[in-house]
Amino acid sequence: MKRANPVRQKLTALSLFGVPLLTYPLLALPEGNLGGIPASYLYLFGVWAGLIALAALVAEPRGMK
């Protein structure tokens, strides 16, 4: 059996971690405003940006500079 690529395994784990963070029950928790922006928007885009940043860290090859 062929062994899976470690980067692919990490990205899969990251996506499985991110899916529950973006489901309705957690999206409905933040209430109120922060600087005129609804807290739910800040949560949604904060989690989204965090997942993208983590995926970039995982996918970026190390030691190639």
- H/E run at residue 38: strand 37-38
Domains of the chain, residue spans = 6-59
Do 55 and 14 contact (CB within 8 A), yes or no?
yes
Q: What is the mean pLDDT of each run of 10 residues along the chain (65 residues)?
A: 84 95 90 91 95 94 66
Q: What pTM value is reported for the model?
A: 0.83
The confidence score (pLDDT) of residue 2 equals 73
pLDDT digits (tens, 9 = 90+) for 31-46: 999 899 999 999 999 9
The confidence score (pLDDT) of residue 62 equals 75
The confidence score (pLDDT) of residue 10 equals 93
The confidence score (pLDDT) of residue 16 equals 96
